[in-house]
Amino acid sequence: MTDEQVEIWNLIRESNRAWVSGAAHEVGSLYDEHAVMVPPDFAKRLEGRDAIVKSYEDFIHHARTNFFEEQEHSIEVFGDLALVTYRFLVRYTLVSEEAEREETGQEVLALRRGPAGWKVLWRTQMPI
């Protein structure tokens, strides 16, 4: 991987570690102020960093993440734009349930490099 690819991957992994550990507020630094997040069912897109951070906070309040692993990532850099895809495995337990759930999926992120560094402009997840 190039230095740019390593830098981008480290930002994403740090963000993932933040929400898994319950520090949703730290996730905000990865996102552009006007970022868009499209959920797997494409039902309701979230617009803006604050709405995206709130979605992480909501998840943390309703579930306990027991395990999260990034797998098979790819990072393509095109000047000041980057596309990142990776597969993930997550195990979590909803607060209202006892049974653990397991999901695998693919995450796709589009980033732009600006004065404040690399920021996510667009994010979606798809179940596998």
Q: What is the pLDDT of residues 43-68, one digit of tens each?
A: 889 999 999 999 999 999 999 999 99
3-127 maps to which CATH number? 3.10.450.50
Euclidean distance between the first and final Cα of the chain, in Å? Answer: 26
Percent of the chain beyond pLDDT 70? Answer: 100
User: What is the per-residue pLDDT for 109?
Assistant: 98
User: What is the per-residue pLDDT for 40?
Assistant: 82
> Do 103 and 90 touch, CB atoms closer than 8 A?
yes
- Can you give the pTM of this predicted structure? 0.92
Listed by start position, the domains of the chain span: 3-127
Residue with tokens 């617009």: 47
